[in-house]
Structure 1
Amino acid sequence: MTDIHPDVQSALDAARDLRHRIDDLRERINGIRARRPSPGDAVVPEVDAMGRLTDLYFAPGTTERFGNAELVAEIMAAIGESTADAGRQYRAIMDVEPWPEPAAQSTTNGPA
């Protein structure tokens, strides 16, 4: 007998749907990039959803314009802002209403 019980088929369908939703969520999270400029607009870091620095841009002349301590302050401020922005983007993706429960199906009369 190769017929699948309706409850088993429903569970298999739900599992497949969940896998697709998880894959979509992963793609959205992996696509998060935050680029917030430093207070002097001289440095722009790129930070991913996990707070990792993925790139760092300097405006022309930045290294000549700032001393070491000032440059460090610019970089750290920009990384802090970018990390906070990436966190907001992550929370916006994760803070969604759960999908609605499927309508209850009666199995007393067989599959719908």
Structure 2
Amino acid sequence: MENEIDMNALGESIVKVLKTIFDPEIPVDIYELGLIYDVFVNENREVKILMTLTSPNCPVAETLPMEVKEKVSSINMVKDVELELTFDPPWNKDLMSEEAKLELGML
């Protein structure tokens, strides 16, 4: 049971870190923007993140995934981080949270 609580806490820590990373062109964090498609954590505390960018030509295509990997790797409980970048499905504004849409005046 204790291990399960650790996994929940770890998941929350990962989301908290993801919410500190911003797309430089849009004043909203990448989690609320819907750029994070999935986060998997196994019992060995290895994390796999499936994410996208607002476009394949995004100016931060090189740096943003590295920032995500580095920041999530810095969490004490995380043993390893694998990051997969995908453009399937392509990102669109519908993936944004209500909070992000409100922040950008889209509601």
TM-score, normalising length: structure 1? 0.38
Greater helix proportion: 1
- Of structures 1 and 2, the larger Rg is shown by 1
Tell me the TM-score normalised to structure 2 length: 0.40
